């Protein structure tokens, strides 16, 4: 069902890790939003950064959390 959305029919050339990144960047529906500032985290499940409460957060908020925690 996603065949038509892949640029240049390059779907088969993408390795699995690439899929996640591509999806995260191109599918707003699966885009992970920061639980603190509601900005897209630019991440997907595999490399999610989490707050001290275990919520997915963006890089900026992650850095903030780190600096607060110290
Ligand atoms: Zn954030």
Distance 63 CA to ligand 1 centre (A): 9
- For residues 15 and 58, the model is more confident at 58
Please tell me the distance between residue 6's alpha carbon and the centre of ligand 1 in angstroms: 29
How far is the centre of ligand 1, averaged over its atoms, from the C-alpha of 39 (Å)?
6
Cβ < 5 A residues, ion ligand 1: 34, 36-37, 58, 61
Q: Reply yes or no on whether the pLDDT at 28 is more than 70.
A: no
Give backbone dihedrals phi and psi of 49, rounded to 5 degrees, phi first.
-100, 135
Predicted confidence (pLDDT) per residue in 36-70, tens digit = 999 988 887 778 899 989 999 999 999 998 887 66
Cα 38 to middle of ligand 1, angstroms: 6
Query: 13 phi and psi, to 5 degrees?
Result: -80, -10
């Amino acid at each position: 069902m996603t065949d038509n959305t892949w640029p240049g029919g390059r779907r088969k050339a993408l390795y699995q890790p690439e899929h996640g990144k591509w999806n995260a960047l191109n599918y707003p529906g699966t885009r992970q939003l920061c639980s603190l500032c509601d900005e897209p985290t630019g991440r997907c499940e595999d490399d999610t950064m989490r707050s001290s409460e275990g919520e997915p957060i963006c890089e900026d908020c992650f850095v903030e959390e780190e600096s607060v925690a110290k």
